[in-house]
Amino acid sequence: MPASPADLQTILFLAANPKDTGRLRVDQELRDIDEGLKRAQKRDQFKLEQRLAVRPRDIQRAMLDVNPQIIHFSGHGKGEAGLIFEDDIGNTQLVDGAALAGLFKLFADQIHCVVLNGCYSEVQAKAIAQHIPFVIGMNQGIGDRAAIAFAVGFYDALGAGRPIEFAYKLGCSAIRLDGIAEHLTPVLLKQSPEGAAMIQPKPNDLTSSASVVQPANAPIEVFISFSHKDDDLREGLVTHLSNLGRQGKITAWDDRAIKAGKEWEPQIKSKLESAQIILLLVSSDFIASDYCHDIEMLRAIERHNAGTACVIPILLRPCDWKGLPFSKLKILPKDGKAVTQWSDRDTAFVDVVVEIRRAVDSLTRNESLAASPSASERSLESSTDAVRPLSSAQRLKLQYLQSKRILAASKKWTFRSAIASAI
């Protein structure tokens, strides 16, 4: 039986992929959403409308013509700068969060969900969520495969009659089921009287990789972010880092390690999330690269600010880097003198590696605090090997001592404080 007009929900799919931006598979995203809704249990309750190559004025026209309840944007985002739409000749035109929020506020009586399926769209999502009950944005860059997987999972759940919060979680789960390490990228913002409340799946909700204390002898993971135009300088740095690698202190990784035939973006993002130290190899080409700047560097700074990684910028060639997000950090080599400005590049790289070694040693020392059991712990742990097992009271005491040690170490140290004392 067809749904009554009161029950029918119209989804407005807005897509923009200007000719001066990277190619996106918005056509596949639209097709997959449409196919999912057509086979859905509640398919009669949904109507999908589309507008492609959207200009800013096309948004308001579509809102008036379609009267949607759900709005889905597919395209690029630029964080604070805004979402990317098209101008009259097909090039980029940015629309910021305040402008979008002002528009959606006018239609707040009919819209109950907005999905911003574009990189770094959390900023716009927060602005819109002041007026709309449910808004989904992305807290970092998101690849095509992950964006499509999320959209398919989200609308499959809605088509099955599930609520938005469940659909959001299923979309995140769909990303992980596709083997993509971006399932924590989507963020759901729920409107409340006090303001927008964030709902995001915790790592333990969707993955078994719970946070654990790393063994003291485990090498520190180092991620190297660079422009391929600086490949010769990257090789020079990697060569000088080889001694730290041979000593088992670090494992350095960059995208040159990706094998032919393998998808590069999921590997880069996975390594970027797991690294404890992130090296930014700064040059004019690094700054000009959309991927280096918008994806790798911005996510690295987010992790540094959150205290989950340490970012170390290394100036390879002279360039204008003032005012960039990493400019508040100490830049290497010494005195911010670019590697290519040194009379001997080996001397410059040695200066860099000495500082990296200090940072690595500082991290390792502080991890040892959490990894080293006390005498009381060792006594109780050794009892587990005896013929008589630990009593329940002894087990509780052991658990208490272990948790107390880890908590004490965490209070004494974060990545930022450790690095601040090291470089």
Least confident of 9-18, 82-91, 225-234, 386-395: 386-395
Q: Do 189 and 232 reside in the same domain of the chain? A: no
Q: Do 147 and 241 reside in the same domain of the chain? A: no
Q: Which residue has the higher pLDDT, 260 or 348?
A: 348
pLDDT of residue 265: 84
Residue-wise pLDDT tens digits, 190-201: 986 555 556 655
Which of these, 295, 30, 264, 48, lies nearest to 148 by C-alpha position? 30
Residue-wise pLDDT tens digits, 117-174: 998 899 999 999 999 999 999 988 888 899 999 999 999 999 999 999 999 999 999 9
pLDDT of residue 21: 86
pLDDT of residue 189: 94
Asked if residue 305 belongs to a domain, the reply is: yes
Provide mean pLDDT across the span 52-64: 96
pLDDT of residue 363: 78
Q: Mark which of 325, 346, 366 sits at the end of a domain.
A: 366
Q: Do 386 and 352 reside in the same domain of the chain? A: no
> In the chain, how many domains are there?
3
- CATH at 237: 3.40.50.10140
Q: Is pLDDT at 308 greater than 90 in this prediction?
A: no
**Largest Cα–Cα separation, the chain:** 81
Q: What is the DSSP letter of 332?
A: B
Provide mean pLDDT across the span 254-258: 90
Asked if residue 2 belongs to a domain, the reply is: no
pLDDT of residue 409: 47
pLDDT of residue 396: 53
Q: Do 89 and 39 reside in the same domain of the chain? A: yes
Q: Do 193 and 232 reside in the same domain of the chain? A: no
As a whole number of angstroms, the distance between CA 423 and CA 134 comes to 44
Asked if residue 1 belongs to a domain, the reply is: no
As a whole number of angstroms, the distance between CA 339 and CA 233 comes to 9
H or E segment and range at residue 154: helix 144-159
List all residues 6 or more positions away from 133 whose beta carbon is below 8 Å from its beta carbon. Answer: 112, 113, 190, 191
Residue-wise pLDDT tens digits, 370-421: 445 555 555 544 554 444 455 555 555 555 555 555 444 444 444 444 555 4
Q: Do 410 and 288 reside in the same domain of the chain? A: no
Q: Do 98 and 202 reside in the same domain of the chain? A: yes
Q: Is pLDDT at 340 greater than 90 in this prediction?
A: yes
Q: Do 373 and 357 reside in the same domain of the chain? A: no
pLDDT of residue 206: 43
Q: Which residue has the higher pLDDT, 393 or 304?
A: 304
pLDDT of residue 412: 43
Q: Which residue has the higher pLDDT, 419 or 32?
A: 32
Q: Do 134 and 178 reside in the same domain of the chain? A: yes
Asked if residue 169 belongs to a domain, the reply is: yes
Report the chain's mean pLDDT, rounded to a whole number. 83
pLDDT of residue 366: 58
pLDDT of residue 82: 92
As a whole number of angstroms, the distance between CA 45 and CA 162 comes to 12
Q: Which domain holds residue 173?
A: 9-206
As a whole number of angstroms, the distance between CA 135 and CA 108 comes to 12
Asked if residue 82 belongs to a domain, the reply is: yes
Q: Do 46 and 165 reside in the same domain of the chain? A: yes
Asked if residue 139 belongs to a domain, the reply is: yes
Taking the whole predicted model, whether its pTM rises above 0.95 is answered as no
Q: Do 177 and 35 reside in the same domain of the chain? A: yes
Q: Do 144 and 244 reside in the same domain of the chain? A: no
Asked if residue 246 belongs to a domain, the reply is: yes
Asked if residue 212 belongs to a domain, the reply is: no
As a whole number of angstroms, the distance between CA 330 and CA 105 comes to 43
Provide mean pLDDT across the span 43-60: 95
Q: Is pLDDT at 214 greater than 60 in this prediction?
A: no
